[in-house]
Chains A and B, each alone.
Chain A
Amino acid sequence: MEISSQHFQVSDVRGRILDVLDLESPGGQRILVVIGKGGVGKTTTSILLSLVASTRFKTLIMSIDPAMHLAEYLGLGDAMGRFVHVKGNLWAYQLDLDRSVRDLAESYTMHVRDLLPSLKVLNLDDVIDIMKNVPGLEEEVYLRTVREATMRDFEVVVVDTPPTGVTLRVLTLPRLYNLWLGKLIELRERIVALRYMIARTLYGEREVRDRALDKLYKLKDHYSTLEKIFTSPTHTSYILVSNPEPLPYTEMAKAMDYIARNLNQKPKLLVMNKVSLAPSTSIHHLGGDIMRVFCSLQFPKMVIREAPKPPSTLSDIESLLDYVDLSFCEESLPRL
């Protein structure tokens, strides 16, 4: 009887989490971006949410965190950089950042190899040697990886991200790139128009094609799609994770402010992980004011109590559902 009661509670928690995440709302594929300071339990939370989502939707848990904890939890080993079936409706993808950055740098090198003699004359041949260290290359890999996931037939994609600073920069890069692409397109269109005028005046009717302009349009399309994805509440939701400690909480607050200002988004769910709730625990032991401030935030909240042993496998994480509390702020906190 006790077991069935526990099962009832767990399935109830699953249902409540699904309600909070609101994955049924229109907009096609849903992306959950899990953000937090290094070590707060982003991967654990991401897997937990993926497991819940996969009870109803075809779900991908994707980690672009270079720490590669997802690979360890799921024992992906050599399967990094591939879409791997985990169980039921759940699939996983662990980005191998080093390899992807190297591959991207090599692809750029291949593209400009024909230009090498000219680049040498212009003393630009060093560009090829330093390509893999060019600023923005890692971020481009993150963006491409997320874009690839959005083009697949997953109904829910949960993205486990690198530490907060990198993630927030990546999320706003498409907008920055679009600003520059808009300016470059304007300039290039003027160049092509002048080229057309010259060709038409001297040689009569003529079609002027410009590969650079075509490429600029293509890039604009790519980054506009990403910008729309990241800023659309019907497509992407942000889950912020913290521990009841000052630095992780400060980072959560900053991330909340950043996504509000730059992505015009509110967090879908705030997660406080590793909350110790031993019988003798007082509000002071819980991190004092942090929990009170956390509970005062006007967003859905989820507390994950500290388990007796840290999770190290998929089933450990699944069993964390027993430690999830969605009513902590309304029920447990007032009693402390």
Chain B
Amino acid sequence: MAEGALRRFLGNIVSFIRAQVEGFKEGSVSAIRLEHNELEAAFLNMILGPLVGVVTGVPPIISLELLAELGDEVRYLESRAFRGEDVIGDLFSTLSSE
């Protein structure tokens, strides 16, 4: 009886520590994830910009060459634009809507 209680107690401690570790991991990557998302958006902005008349300096031919390799990123940008989370996605929608 006492052994079972001890096992549960220890199990709870392990679960608690695991949750803490996971929480710590999530917390530690949130800043990295934010930087990643912003850089990704900046990169897409630079690549897609020349194709809709936004002068970013990147030669359009490089944009065309890269476009096919950015499928996942473009779809992600699309989903962020849908959810209204991404100002750059919104900007593209606005710029090209005329």
Interface of A toward B, CB cutoff 8 Å: 108, 111-112, 114-115, 118-119, 121-124, 126-127, 131, 134-137, 139-140, 173, 176-177, 180-181, 184, 187-188, 190-191, 194-195, 197-198, 201-202, 211-212, 214-216, 219
Inter-subunit contact B92/A215 (CB<8 Å): no
Q: Are A212 and B73 in contact (CB under 8 A)?
A: yes
Interface size classification for chain B: 35 or more
Contact present for B60 and A115 (CB under 8 Å): no
B residues less than 8 Å from A139 (CB atoms): 61
* Interface residues in chain B, defined as those with a beta carbon under 8 Å from any beta carbon in chain A: 25-26, 28-29, 32-33, 35-36, 39-40, 42-43, 46-48, 51-52, 57-62, 64-71, 73-75, 77-78, 81-82, 89, 92-93, 95-97
Residues on A with C-beta less than 8 A from B58 are 180, 184
Q: A187-B43, A202-B29, A219-B65 are in contact. Are A124 and B92 (CB under 8 A)?
A: yes
Contact B60 A122 (CB under 8 A): no
Shortest distance between the CB of A11 and any CB in chain B (Å): 46
Provide the bound-state CA to CA distance between A188 and B36, in Å.
10
Q: Are B78 and A195 in contact (CB under 8 A)?
A: no
Closest B residue to A110 by CB, please name it.
B68
In whole angstroms, what is the CA distance A135 to B70 when docked? 21
A-B CB contacts (within 8 Å), total count: 119
Residue of B nearest to A134 (CB): B60
Bound-state CA distance A194–B29 (Å) is 9
Q: Known pairs A122-B74, A134-B51, A191-B40; list 13 more (Cβ under 8 Å).
A: A112-B68, A115-B68, A118-B75, A122-B48, A122-B93, A124-B48, A124-B92, A126-B96, A177-B61, A181-B62, A184-B43, A194-B35, A215-B69
Contact present for A108 and B64 (CB under 8 Å): yes
Contact between B97 and A198, CB atoms less than 8 A apart: no
Contact partner, B51, options A124, A181, A188, A197, Cβ 8 Å: A124
CB closest chain-B residue, reference A194:
B36
- Whether B60 contacts A136 by the Cβ 8 Å rule is yes
User: Taking the nearest CB of chain A, how far is it from the CB of B67, in angstroms?
Assistant: 5
Known: A191-B39, A212-B73. A201 touches B29 (CB 8 A): yes
Per the bound structure, the CA–CA distance linking A200 and B66 in Å amounts to 26
CB distance from B89 to the nearest CB of A (A): 7
Check B64 against A121 for contact (C-beta < 8 Å).
no
Among residues of A, the one whose C-beta sits closest to the C-beta of B58 is A180
Does A140 contact B61, Cβ atoms closer than 8 Å?
yes
> Least Cβ distance of B60 to chain A in Å?
5
- Please, how many angstroms separate the alpha-carbon atoms of A188 and B62 in the complex? 14
| Closest Cβ–Cβ distance, residue B79 to chain A (whole Å) | 9
Q: Are the CB atoms of B39 and A194 closer together than 8 Å?
A: yes
CA–CA, A77 to B86, complex, Å?
54
Closest residue to A176 on the B side, CB-wise?
B59
CB pair B39–A212 under 8 Å, yes or no, is: no
Chain A residues with Cβ below 8 Å from B32 are 194, 197-198, 201
Known: A123-B96, A188-B43. A212 touches B69 (CB 8 A): yes
Cross-chain pairs A/B with CB under 8 angstroms, 5 sampled = A119-B74, A121-B93, A184-B47, A201-B28, A219-B65
Q: Residue of B at shortest CB range from A216?
A: B66
Is there contact, CB below 8 Å, between A115 and B71?
Answer: yes
